[in-house]
Structure formats: C-alpha cells, structure tokens
Amino acid sequence: MTPKNISLTISEKDISYEEYIARIDKEKIPVYEPSLGDEELSNLSIVISSNWISEGKYTREFEARLAELCQRSYSVAFSNATSALIAGMKSLGIGTGDEVIVPSFSHSADANSISVIGATPVFADVEKDTLCLSPDTIGVSLTEKTKAVLYICAYGNVGDLDQISEFCKAHNLILINDCAPALGGSYRGKSIASYGAFSVLSFFADKTITTGEGGMLLTDDIGLVSECNIYKHDGRKERGHGLIERQGYNFRISEFQSAVGVAQLGKLDHKILRKKQILEHYGKMLSGSTKTNIFSFNSDGDIVPHRIVLFVDAAIPLIDHLGTLGIGARPLFSPMHLQPCYDRPEIFKITDKIYLEGLELPSSPTLSIMDIEYITNSIKEYFK
C-alpha cells in the first residue's frame, strides 16, 4: 500500500465527538480505564479543607518523589507533558532556524511542540523491533541545522538508549526524552526517565498513574529548572513576582491533580505488576495463533508495557470487528508526516507498515483473565 493510500485511511472517517462517545459507551471492555479510589478522595478532601488549591505541598511532594523514582536531581510539574516539552526546549535555546529530529511514528504533541517554539520537526523512520529511533534512522535525517533529537519511548519501549546517548554526544546534539508512558521502566538498570538533557512524563487518564491531565519535566540541570519555571509561571520566576523576564505561559498543574498523583504513586508497584501480568496472559492465550504477533518489548530493559500491541495483516478491519463485540481496540500512532498539518513527501516504510498492521488491545490493570480470554477468543474466531 502506498503512502497516499495510508493518508486516505487516516482522513476517510470524519467522526464527530458525539459519534466517538457513542462508540466508547458501547464498549464493554474499554481499551483503557483509570483506577481511582479512597486514597485519592482522602487527599482531595485535605486540599479542599486547606482552601489552597493551586500548587502547594502535594505538588512539591509529587515532584520530589518522582525525581527520586526516576533517578533525577530535579523535577518540575506541568499542566501536561506537551507544555513540559515546550518549556524544556525553549529553555535550552531551541527555536527558529533549528531542526529537531522526531519519529513520524509518534503522538502529535511531539511534532507540534517543536513547531510551537519556532523550530522545524524533521521526521525519521523507526526500527521495527523497537518502534523507536536508532542512530541509523536519525543519521538519515541529520543535517547541519539539526540541534536536537526528540526520542519517543513508544508504548513504554526503548531501543539502545546508551547508543542513542553516545550518538547525540558525538554529533553535538541535544537529546530530549519523551518517556511519557514509560514511568517505572528501566534500561540496563537505569531509569528510562534518567536519559536525556531532560525527560517528560504524562499523567493523562490512560497512563500508569493518572491525574486526569498533567505532566512532569525531569532533569539534572538546575539552570534548566530555573528557566523552565520562568516559562511555566507566565514569564516570571514564581507566582508573586512582578518582574516578567520572558514571554511565558501558564503551564501550572493544580493542587487537586498533584494530590491525586501522590495517592496514585502509592499504587504504582501494583499497577506495574498487573501490566506485566496482562501482557503475559495475552501472550499465552494467543501463542498458538499464526495470524497474530504480539509486540515484544526490549529484553535489555525492565519495561512497563503501556499498551498491548498486536500486529496482524490488516489492523483496521479487526479493530472494527472487535468494536462490534464491545471490545475497545485502537489503531497505533498515525504517521505524522502524512497528517494534513505537515503533509511531507517522505516515505517511511517501517512507520507505514506499523500503522497498517498494528493495533492496541485493552490493557487496563483492572482487566480480568476472563476479559482477556474473551478478547483473545474473539480474535481467534475472527481469523477462522
């Protein structure tokens, strides 16, 4: 199938928000759902009683605990991971005239955050075994204007991060680590979030821990922290300062979100364990199928699988079929270079193939073995 065909696949369904919600309402097993309980309610009650609902003690605790968990010296909470990327790149001086290499196989937030700061996103292909960039794929897109590489930990996975780090160092490139879904994951004994000039995490509703929205920037550079805080606080050093040093933004998180995040951190180990168990169950139940291939995460790391990724000959028909059975399944990332806002002429064979053949299966920690049996049996019946 040609890139033109893929582009048509991306744009052919003009689904309204109402239609989208109607489809989700019919799903007996959603592709993902958050898990919240009494601990979150208790923390929220404390925030309400304090009557201090902007960033406060829970936000500082949330930042400190994540910095320690991710083997970083510092962390800064943001309204979402996208704003963390924007502030982080601006703080590093990336902007007009600079190019940033980013995989076409990524969330739109990555390329868009590069564009927002005035730099140019230069798309690259990924490796089929990792779904991530490699020195080879980066090298193809490298130019004299390249200032940084925005590495994406696709679905929590990574390639050889040490090799990537050395490549960027050798070519005088800034390594930025979008490990939004990789919280708790490690590579050769190091936290995945410890790599890069800075890394970002996301706490959207479908992440391992959630605050509804929200993000975190992590770094070992105190100067970067100071700059990020200025961009985060409307161009001033902190709330209460009247001196506007930059043309900044309001990228702050709320104390409500941080209170939920602190409670969620107490459940992190259980959520990670369940994600790994669910991947194992899927693998066992589809082990005899010759029509399906479950993606294998990097064995050099202790990866937390953000999603159960399945490859088949054609993903969209299977996704539609599972939808009729009340099973939430979704396509993988749409190639960004083919999206209308970029519409680039490049051909990335691996990215195109991944989009056509890959899908996400339900992967919530709340899934039961019976749920997984129903999903996998439905897939096997489809191929009969």
What CATH number corresponds to the domain at position 317?
A: 3.90.1150.10
Give bridge partners of residue 186 from the DSSP assignment: 191, 302
Dihedrals phi, psi of 29, to nearest 5 degrees = -125, 100
Of the CA atoms within 13 Å of residue 167, those in its CB half-sphere come to 19
Number of domains in the chain: 2
**Backbone dihedral region for residue 51 (phi beyond 0: left; psi -120 to 50: alpha; all else: beta):** left
Task: Judge if 91 and 231 occupy the same domain.
Answer: yes
Give bridge partners of residue 123 from the DSSP assignment: 102
For 109, the token pair is 């937030």
Tell me the pLDDT of the chain (384 aa) as tens digits: 445 456 545 555 566 778 878 888 889 999 999 999 999 999 999 999 999 999 999 999 999 999 999 999 999 999 999 999 999 999 999 999 999 999 999 999 999 999 999 999 999 999 999 999 999 999 999 999 999 999 999 999 999 999 999 999 999 999 999 999 999 999 999 999 999 999 999 999 999 999 999 999 999 999 999 999 999 999 898 777 778 888 999 999 999 999 999 999 999 999 999 999 999 999 999 998 999 999 999 999 999 999 999 999 999 999 999 999 999 999 999 999 999 999 998 999 999 999 999 999 999 999 999 999 999 999 999 998
Residue range of the domain that includes 210: 38-265
Kindly state the helix (H) or strand (E) to which residue 103 belongs, with its residue range. strand 99-103
Length of the chain: 384
Task: Judge if 10 and 148 occupy the same domain.
Answer: no
Task: Judge if 311 and 186 occupy the same domain.
Answer: no
**Backbone dihedral region for residue 213 (phi beyond 0: left; psi -120 to 50: alpha; all else: beta):** beta
Task: Judge if 20 and 146 occupy the same domain.
Answer: no
With a CB cutoff of 8 Å and minimum separation 6, the contacts of 380 are 286, 289
Task: Judge if 273 and 374 occupy the same domain.
Answer: yes
pLDDT of amino acid 10: 57
Task: Judge if 228 and 97 occupy the same domain.
Answer: yes
Task: Judge if 181 and 307 occupy the same domain.
Answer: no
Among 249, 265, 281, residue at a domain's last position: 265
For 88, the token pair is 């982080």
User: Cα(197)–Cα(32) distance, rounded to whole angstroms?
Assistant: 31
Task: Judge if 139 and 248 occupy the same domain.
Answer: yes
